[in-house]
Amino acid sequence: MTHFIFVTGGVVSSLGKGISAASVAALLEARGLSVTMVKMDPYINVDPGTMSPFQHGEVFVTEDGAETDLDLGYYERFLRRAKMTKLNNFTSGRVYQDVLNKERRGDYLGGTVQVIPHITDNIKERVLRAGEGYDVAIVEIGGTVGDIESLPFMESVRQLMVELGHKRSMLMHLTLLPYISSAAELKTKPTQHSVKELLSIGIQPDILICRTEHDVDADTTRKIALFTNVEARAVVVCKDAKTIYQIPRNFYEQNVDDLICERFGYNDLPKADLSDWDQVCEALFNPEYTVRVAMVGKYVELPDAYKSVNEALLHAGIQNRVKVQIDYVDAQALESEDIAILDTADAILVPGGFGERGTEGKMAAIRYAREKGIPFLGICLGMQLAVIEYARHVAQMPEASSTEFNRATKYPLIGLITEWLDERGELQQRNLESDLGGTMRLGAQKSELVAGTKTREIYGKAEITERHRHRYEMNDRFIEPLEKAGMRVSGYSSVQHLVETVEIPAHPWFIAVQFHPEFTSSPRDGHPLFASFIDAAKKQNQKGK
């Protein structure tokens, strides 16, 4: 029987609902419970897959190929035993699309389709289905209380809490305690008004998470409890931390897990062992020295666009006991600026992306890393551009390109798989999965690593599973000339035998991959590819000294 914790936010957005929810999940998992998490997004887009990173930040990809909110990345990084799926994130757009499709099919037998009960019932069904098989499901509602677009979700939560009952559901509300410097005091009124807004739609919070930059005394806590009808012990102070990975310990010290377990009747569980989180924080706060990684992309104005890559580099730094300083380099600006801005980099990374803008700048950075012997990691588009750069400047194919950028190119190294198989009359001979061709290759897929390669050595096994999010592939017609010129294909997809990884054996550390290894990195376990990359950066840093 699944128990549900609903998580809402008030006062302002970006307070950290996702991180707070994930920290509670980590705490409950440390008590031995099986936990899953759900994110309900109020926007009308069906999913974030077509949204600009400038608008929404990173699109996180689950193992089963769902394009989801970046909060699901936090969920997976904080949990060890649960992996997110397409059930764990849905939007207003997805709900309305589903209900309207049913209406068009006649499923409602000509009845008037309304927000209540049709939309709310669809939301409730999705929440209950996502929670099946787990002890606890933590359900986060995007936006803040009072937003017009989130009202159907709030109503669905109200109904679910009535239907599930007191022993199977509770609500955690995140608010802001602003500090007014002229008055030299914390103000509780925003929290009071936020809870009042919740009460107006029929929801009473059980736990308050109060975000603040300052210490909160017992009198303030009692005042908040009195005016919000929440137990004083359930008013939890979440003071700004040096790292988000301190939050599970913070909540543990305020007995948040005990409060939840008591409510749900989990009375005989062992105490939470947070030693692994303590080790993460200890390594993070005590690095031996700093390495600089130049990340060359086109969304560098918004670091959230590369959230999982940033976190994977942080995790690799933890494993190597170094601080990773990320220097964001605008790929488009690099096309006209002096490449010498990369001189201070101990390593260079080109992440994924879509479209032609900035690709020449990225290839300039790749060439710089290749020629200077600087450790280089290319991801997705970064791999494709590494192949093109090598073909142009080493393998005597100056016109090499992608058909995405130049359909008339003499050397179409990168293209839609249907383009280059059809060109050779092999379209019906290759074992193509239904999601290939002109559409995206999404989700976890297996790759076979070639014996004797650095990539195989790093992973320590012959077969790996990594997540993909891309449309274009490397044309296998060009494998032979590239390998003759010194680049080696070190991995192929297990089903279609498509190129997955390449490396340059003569280079100290030059690896590029078609998949997204950042999606499976975590603070406690890291990721072998990123760990090896930062280890190479550490050696480069020491060599420079």
The set of catalytic residues is 380, 516, 518
Of residues 315, 375, 323, the one with CA closest to residue 527: 315
Contact 462, 449 (CB under 8 A): yes
> What does DSSP assign to residue 111?
P
Q: Are strands 510-513 and 376-379 parallel, antiparallel or unpaired?
A: parallel
Residue identified by tokens 């998490």 is 37
- Which amino acid makes up residue 87? L
Rounding to the nearest 10 degrees, give the CA dihedral for residues 277, 325, 51, 145. Answer: 50
Check the CA dihedral 90-92-94-99 and report its sign: positive
Structure tokens belonging to residue 279: 């080790």
Instruction: Report the alpha-carbon distance of residue 510 to residue 513 in Å, rounded.
Output: 10
Per DSSP, the chain holds a count of helices (H) and strands (E) of 19, 23
Q: Given CA atoms 275, 280, 286, 287 in this order, what sign does their dihedral have?
A: positive
Which residues, other chains included, contact 394 with Cβ-Cβ below 8 Å and sequence gap of 6+?
485, 486, 487
Helix (H) or strand (E) segment spanning residue 293:
strand 289-297
**Among all chains, which residue has been given the structure tokens 């009460």?**
199
Cβ 462 vs Cβ 492: under 8 Å: no
Q: Distance between CA 478 and CA 488 in Å, rounded?
A: 11
DSSP type of residue 113: P
Measured CA to CA, the distance from residue 476 to residue 499 in angstroms comes to: 7
| Side-chain half-sphere exposure of 148, counting CA atoms within 13 A | 1
